[in-house]
Structure 1
């Protein structure tokens, strides 16, 4: 592994500085919390749910190993949504404790912070695999048609499309994902690989909602990814598919006394234009 410094390095005191002690107080091991909602994402299906700012939500393995493809929007303004590529640059390509998921321009603020991860110690395996991946994106029926010449309706993109429709969103709102519990890396030819999910029953990834959120997740039709999805050895991995669980918690109000939802990125420039035709400041206020 290269020890070259990361390209995106912040000045001291920036929003990239995470108050780890604060987030540690919100975990299940640190404080008693109130469970306010539970959901099950069915096999080969998707689900969307709301999380108020200041709440915690947990994605968990409730049966066998399973990968989940995760999307996220500002509840009140779906134009503000999770930005996987910028999160990959500001945080890491595989995220874990204290990493934040960032929103798109012109908003650019933390939407959620990871506060607990039972796979945090997985590290890098012998093949270079790591978990909770921002490298790749969701499987979809369009690329499946390109690779196989066949239509196959069970894909994360399709699951997410159906999940968000009751909230007034469409296929155009579905975006690049966080692959929860997925183990991935780059091979010797710098190509993306996926391998069998290492998560087991009881494992979870937990987030603190920095703003009011609409979340959606697909229970990946690839299951635990132990079966090839494309290529000469590909077959339908239905037998490796399991449901996923979601829990939403309210934390003690006194723990949030000094916390506030992050503001939008404070850039006040006009992109170098003297008379800009678009007032981004007004647009951000309107949502």
Structure 2
């Protein structure tokens, strides 16, 4: 007996349709121009801009390392990654051709994944998959609950510091895409994390569907091979590694005819006006 079908089934021709040859050409582009490049040190955070129509690559230059990613519309931070809706429209773990979707009332793609060197990892024997939207960032508040101690360099705190130069605050930091993180649900339907399968040189690449502000934290848990909480917890500093980020400008002819997706076309009434044709008289 097969598993149930996904609940969210679009009609043909919707914004959920992906022009795979278009994104394949972008991923295979050899003549792209490097616009920005940096290495994010261990246990730190940084924010950067990715203009619409550009490509961004996140990589593991020295070996496995988890990165916690936030994404906003550069001009309107109220439009930002909606992790739960992305799980419903795409999957709980994303890979090539999947999109990250923005919050209401916008509900449109922020980015499209165009390359993933870990795509073949699939589902492992323990039910783990890579590039996780199931969980969220580690933070000092839950750390205090679980361990009784304070630590200031969790992913939440790294992201808070990273976005301050852009006028954003802790209230703007949101649920993340855990890049290179391997997770799943165990037999008790509880969230688990396991060691990242990434190796030196692995990468995750996306196309910016609109002007983006991105922020990334190199998780203080490193590659997650060492438990952070519980009776076996210890400082995983020896499994912490940097992450690389590159932003590329594709050749103009590759994006000719492409335009950023419009916001959702719902009229936005929410039943607050009487729909045309319905009686306004009491029964």
Give the structure-2-normalised TM-score. 0.95
5 Å-filtered alignment, 1:71-150, equals: 71-150=70-149
Q: For 1:262 and 1:220, locate their aligned partners in 2 and report how far apart those are by CA, in whole Å.
A: 32
Question: Does the 8 Å contact 1:57/1:248 carry over to 2?
Answer: yes
Instruction: Provide the rounded CA distance (Å) in 2 between the counterparts of 1:2 and 1:46.
Output: 43
User: Deviation of residue 255 (structure 1)?
Assistant: 1.1
Cα displacement (A) at 1:2: 5.3
Cα displacement (A) at 1:174: 0.1
1:261-276 map, 5 Å: 261-274=260-273
Mapping of residues 93-242 of structure 1, within 5 Å:
93-242=92-241
Query: For residues 156 and 261 of structure 2, what CA distance do their matches in structure 1 show?
Result: 29
Q: Is residue 243 of structure 1 aligned with residue 242 of structure 2?
A: yes
Match of 1:16 in 2: 16
- Who wins on radius of gyration, i.e. which is larger? 2
How far off its partner does 1:31 sit? 3.9
- Residues 25 and 31 in structure 1, CA contact (< 8 A), matched pair in contact too: no
Range 238-247 or range 30-39, more displaced? 30-39
Per the TM alignment, residue 30 of structure 1 is displaced from its structure 2 partner at its CA by 4.0
Separation of aligned partners in 2, 1:70 and 1:269: 30
Distance 1:121 1:196 in 2: 17
Q: Is the 1:48–1:215 contact (alpha carbons within 8 Å) kept by the matching residues of 2? A: yes
Pairing of 1:24-43 with structure 2 (within 5 A): 24-27=24-27, 29-43=28-42
Q: Distance in 1 between matches of 2:58 and 2:21?
A: 22
Q: Distance in 1 between matches of 2:112 and 2:244?
A: 19
Secondary structure of 2:231's counterpart equals coil
Unmatched runs of 5 consecutive residues or more in structure 2: 275-283
Q: Secondary structure at the match of 2:126?
A: coil
The alpha-carbon distance between structure 1 residues 144 and 2, as it changes in their structure 2 partners (threshold 3 A), is farther
TM-score, normalisation: structure 1: 0.94
1:253-284 deviation per Cα after TM superposition (whole angstroms, max 9, x unaligned): 01111100000000014000118xxxxxxxxx
* Runs of at least 4 residues off by over 2 Å: none
Per-residue CA deviation, residues 204-246 of structure 1 (Å, 9 max, x unaligned), is 0000000000000000000000000000000010111001000
Instruction: Tell me which residue corresponds to 2:280.
Output: none
